[in-house]
A and B are shown apart, each in its own frame.
Chain A
Amino acid sequence: MELVNAIEQSAVGALVRESLWVYPTLLTLHGVGLALLVGISCAVDVRILGFASDVPLRPMARFLPVMYLGFWLNALSGLGLLCAEASKMLRDPVFFVKMACILAGTGAIVRLNTLVFRPQDARLDRDTFHGSARALALASLAAWTLAIVTGRLTAYGFFR
């Protein structure tokens, strides 16, 4: 727990906590990043699951940089927010469930990227996916939903 206190007392932690505008700005960026990351990831997921199957899937890869922008916005803003509230977050089991969900969601994205967007097979564009791609899409939808649920709950500390 010494580490937790050290993080919270660090220059970054103090700045985020004490400045009038840094915390709200990080929180706002965290909301924008969430919408970009989860929104686009889930749109790709439902396409893989068969919705709007006349949208060619491979060109949807062009939307992924916007999704990654959301990911990095949230990784960085989240790190700043964590420094300010280390003692609150790192003692909350819900926070670690959120981190596990993000790990799972990110893993699903990376795996789908190699499975769906990499292969140079034009048939992929027309087919609805079966097997592992569908399972990954479902896992991604579930992981992001649970990440939002647990992320919201860390503000309440129900299980702390």
Chain B
Amino acid sequence: MDINGAVAWLQSSGLPGYMNAHAWAWPACEVLHFIGMATLLGTIGLLDLRMLGLARSIPARPLHRFVQWGLGGFVINLVTGVMFVAGNPFAPLEYISNVAFLLKMAFLILAGVNAGIFYLTGVSDVVLRLGPGDDAPLAAKLIGGTSMCLWLGVIVFGRLLPYLGDAF
């Protein structure tokens, strides 16, 4: 399904009407989107910071359990994010033509690729074996630093949606 197909499907789904018929729907989704954002950065960020060398006395494997909370935050934000695009009072295409939105999606995809590299190249196996006091290898440090930068970029361009473009 291409972008226009996805937009057409969203418009025919009844979501836009729902979002706009209820005054509370938009703010409720925004609140959830912010909670999801804080959950994601606050949990994945802990592992990133540990790999970068902070709080080295914490073994990595138990700390990694916080990542599932981050995943939960991501799912909340994926769902509410789709609601925003669908509920745009003008047209979902308003987002697609918004440079801040495109940058946010680019950072999001890169964050996904970064996570993919972490889990699929064996770096995560090395990291999960880090005990108290162990220093993470350079590859893990690079991935952790990249992760922090990319997620902060997602937040920055999400916040700039109404200013660089004119979506909410």
List residues of chain A with CB under 8 Å of any chain B CB. Answer: 24, 27-28, 30-32, 34-43, 46, 51-52, 54-56, 59-60, 62-63, 66, 144-145, 148-149, 151-153, 155-156
The count of chain B contact residues (Cβ–Cβ below 8 Å) is 33
Instruction: Return B46 CB to nearest CB of chain A, in Å.
Output: 6
What does the 1/0 interface line of B1-42 toward A look like (CB < 8 Å)? 000000000000000000000000001001100110111111
Q: Contact at A28–B160, with CB atoms within 8 Å?
A: yes
- Least Cβ–Cβ distance between B106 and chain A, in angstroms: 17
Q: Contact: B27 with A63, CB < 8 Å?
A: no
- Nearest-Cβ distance from residue A32 to partner chain B, whole angstroms: 6
- B: residues with CB less than 8 A from A are 27, 30-31, 34-35, 37-43, 45-46, 49, 54-55, 57-59, 62-63, 65-66, 69, 132, 152, 155-156, 158-160, 163
| Chain B residues with CB below 8 A from A51, complex form | 65
Give chain A nearest CB distance to B54 CB in angstroms: 5
Q: Is B159's CB under 8 angstroms from A27's CB?
A: yes
Q: Are A31 and B155 in contact (CB under 8 A)?
A: yes
Q: Which residues of chain B come closer than 8 Å to A28, judged between CB atoms? A: 155-156, 159-160
Q: Which of A36, A62, A145, A152 contacts B42 (CB 8 A)?
A: A36
A57: nearest residue on chain B (CB-CB)?
B58
Q: How far is the CB of A21 from chain B (nearest CB, A)?
A: 8
Instruction: Give CA–CA (A8, B65) in the complex, Å.
Output: 46
**Majority secondary structure, A binding face:** helix
Contact of A39 among B43, B57, B63 (CB under 8 A): B43
A-B contact pairs, 26 of them (CB 8 A): A24-B159, A27-B159, A28-B156, A31-B34, A31-B155, A32-B156, A35-B41, A36-B41, A36-B45, A39-B38, A39-B39, A39-B42, A43-B66, A52-B65, A52-B66, A54-B62, A55-B58, A55-B59, A56-B59, A63-B49, A66-B49, A144-B38, A145-B35, A148-B35, A152-B27, A153-B27
Which residue of chain B has the shortest Cβ distance to A39 in the bound complex? Answer: B42
Cα-based distance from A78 to B168 in the complex (angstroms): 20
Whether the pair B69, A43 counts as a contact (CB closer than 8 A) is: yes
Best-surrounded residue of B58, B59, B62 (most CB of chain A within 10 A): B58
Given contacts A40-B45, A54-B59, 18 further A-B contacts (CB under 8 A): A28-B155, A31-B34, A31-B37, A31-B158, A31-B159, A35-B37, A36-B45, A39-B41, A43-B42, A43-B43, A43-B66, A52-B66, A55-B66, A56-B58, A56-B59, A60-B58, A62-B54, A144-B38
A152 cross-chain contacts in B, Cβ below 8 A: 27, 30-31, 34
